[in-house]
Amino acid sequence: MTCVVQKYGGSSLADMDKIKRVARIIADVKAKGVGVAVVVSAMGKTTNHLVEMAAEVSPRPPRREMDMLLSTGERITMSLLCMALSELGAQAVSLTGSQCGIITNHRHNDAQVIEVRPFRVLDEMAAGKIVVVGGFQGVSYRRDITTLGRGGSDTTAVALAAAINADRCEIYSDVDGVYTSDPSTVADARHLPELSYPVMQEMSVAGAKVLNAQAVQFAKEKQIAIYARSTFDRNRETVVRRFAPGEVVGVQAVVSEKEIVRVRIRGSRVLSDFNRALEILENEQVPVKEVHVTRTQGSTVSPRATFVVSSTNIYGWDAIQTNLARELGASIAFDDHLGALSLIGEGLNRTNVTLIEAIELLKNNAIEVFGISTTSFRISLLVPRESVAAGVRVCHANWILENG
Ligand SMILES: Nc1ncnc2c1ncn2[C@@H]1O[C@H](COP(=O)(O)OP(=O)(O)O)[C@@H](O)[C@H]1O
Ligand SMILES: N[C@@H](CC(=O)OP(=O)(O)O)C(=O)O
């Protein structure tokens, strides 16, 4: 029997009417004799509302309790969807992440899936039921409820598809696939029918929330093709899958992240201060990126360390920043007015041409650059937060629209 995992995001399940429409779609698939496991996210903006509720109670909520709170959003959707399926005469059962055997590490709010033990899911499917799984959540080996980071239901879907050996993993949202830039800010963004794992992964890491970065990483490891589609408009899709390493294709997408904080550490004790900052952040389970430590032999230039934090989804970030400032005193400084825009493409940095052009282009458009970092698939530029959207548009117009 063919078996699919379908994931429906919060935008597809935002109200009761949409839940009923999704139930009809799933029941039709099942009626064709296909085994279906469905992963759901919390309805609409529910997770955001839960985060706001927590912030009203505590500026620095305990991470374990955040997970307990946030995991409830998906429980609401999964039970309502099963009720709607049952109204249609379909047999369905809802299961939490822990009931599905989604085992994670103990990193609350940003847990990694370590293993999936899908026995219950397989039993229910073998009994002919549609299994509806609460996405974005698991259980740690210490038996605490964990969540997989914002957008983490995509990861649940891919991990489950691998564990039950599904024929397809389909991710449904309000867009009909992946575009060259976020279509909600770049009106003329172009649809991409297919993408390689590394390009998609760089896009997700750099802020394209249409697919979650951990989900793409998982899909790459397990060689699962992801079909990104729109729930209510089925004309197009994007397939993310393995491709033979290709030739240089230049800029394929322009993505952005609105809230970046750059942390700078200076002074004679730079390495120990840097270590101390990392310890504090690790204690709070805050990941850091783009680490640079510079010491020049025999020079009078003072050594420095810098790194960046994507602060958007770190609950209680302001309190953490205040604590860092208190612990490290004058040797630490924060640039907290920045965002990042990133050019993504295979072989992008095999020459320096794109980087040179990017610096020129932003300068000509009066957008100041405060930092640059590269990988073989990406050029990221730190720019003022208020210039991110304009920067994305000029880069998209220059590389994607001009080059056809
Ligand atoms: N490059 C991109 N291509 C398509 N969508 C993108 C891209 N970057 C960001 N997005 C945004 O991702 C959204 C879909 O993801 P998400 O909000 O997680 O949906 P859902 O809540 O349904 O899971 C789109 O509405 C779109 O604004
Ligand atoms: N509800 C969670 C998990 C998730 O995956 O959501 P969505 O699929 O709607 O992006 C979140 O808002 O982050």
**132-184 pLDDT, tens digit each:** 999 999 999 999 999 999 999 999 999 999 999 999 999 999 999 999 999 99
C-alpha 394/C-alpha 357 separation (Å) is 12
C-alpha 45/C-alpha 157 separation (Å) is 20
DSSP letter for 250, please. Answer: -
pLDDT band at residue 1 using 50, 70 and 90 as cut-offs: confident
pLDDT of residue 267: 85
DSSP letter for 159, please. Answer: H
Residue 91 has pLDDT above 80, yes or no: yes
For residues 11-27, give the mean pLDDT.
98
Nearest one of 120, 100, 111 to 146, comparing CA atoms: 111
Tokens of 122: 């397989």
Q: How far is the CA of 389 from the centre of ligand 1 (A)?
A: 16
pLDDT in tens, 294-330: 877 776 677 899 999 999 889 889 999 999 999 999 9
**Domain extents in the chain:** 3-241, 253-401
Q: How far is the CA of 208 from the centre of ligand 1 (A)?
A: 7
Strands (E), 68-196: 92-95, 102-104, 113-116, 130-134, 137-140, 145-147, 168-173, 178-179, 191-192, 194-196
pLDDT of residue 106: 94
CB 144 within 8 A of CB 152: no
The DSSP H or E segment spanning 74 is helix 63-87
Strands (E), 141-275: 145-147, 168-173, 178-179, 191-192, 194-196, 226-230, 237-241, 253-266
For residues 2-7, give the mean pLDDT.
96
For residues 42-65, give the mean pLDDT.
96
Residue 246 has pLDDT above 70, yes or no: no
> Do the domains 253-401 and 3-241 match in fold?
no
CB atoms within 10 A of CB 53: 11
Using a 6 Å cutoff on CB, does residue 149 contact ligand 1?
Answer: no
Question: Considering the chain, what is the average pLDDT of its residues?
Answer: 94
Residue 389 has pLDDT above 70, yes or no: yes
Q: Which atom of ligand 1 is nearest to the CA of 192?
A: 3
What is the CB < 6 Å shell around ligand 2?
9-10, 41-42, 47, 73, 135-136, 150-154
Q: How far is the CA of 41 from the centre of ligand 2 (A)?
A: 5
C-alpha 347/C-alpha 349 separation (Å) is 6
CB atoms within 10 A of CB 359: 14
C-alpha 386/C-alpha 392 separation (Å) is 11
For residues 183-210, give the mean pLDDT.
95
Considering the entire predicted model, what is its pTM?
0.94
For residues 80-109, give the mean pLDDT.
97
Residue with CA nearest ligand 1 atom 13: 210
Using a 6 Å cutoff on CB, does residue 183 contact ligand 1?
Answer: yes
Q: 67 CB contacts (<8 Å, ≥6 apart)? A: 108, 109, 111, 137, 144, 145, 146, 147
Tokens of 3: 């078996």
Buried (b) or exposed (e) across 17-47, using 16+ Cβ within 10 A?
A: ebbbbbbebbbebbeeebbbbbbbbbbbebb
Q: How far is the CA of 99 from the centre of ligand 2 (A)?
A: 19
Name the closest ligand to CA 152: 2
C-alpha 78/C-alpha 131 separation (Å) is 9
Tell how strand 237-241 and strand 226-230 pair up.
Answer: antiparallel
C-alpha 46/C-alpha 145 separation (Å) is 18
Structure ipTM: 0.98
The DSSP H or E segment spanning 8 is strand 3-8
pLDDT of residue 297: 76
Q: For 206-269, where are the alpha helices, taking DSSP H only?
A: 213-222
Q: How far is the CA of 106 from the centre of ligand 2 (A)?
A: 20
Q: Which atom of ligand 2 is nearest to the CA of 11?
A: 9
pLDDT in tens, 208-223: 999 999 999 999 999 9
pLDDT of residue 404: 60
CATH topology assigned to domain 3-241:
Carbamate kinase (3.40.1160)
Q: State the CATH class of domain 253-401.
A: alpha beta
User: At 283, is the secondary structure helix, strand, or coil?
Assistant: helix
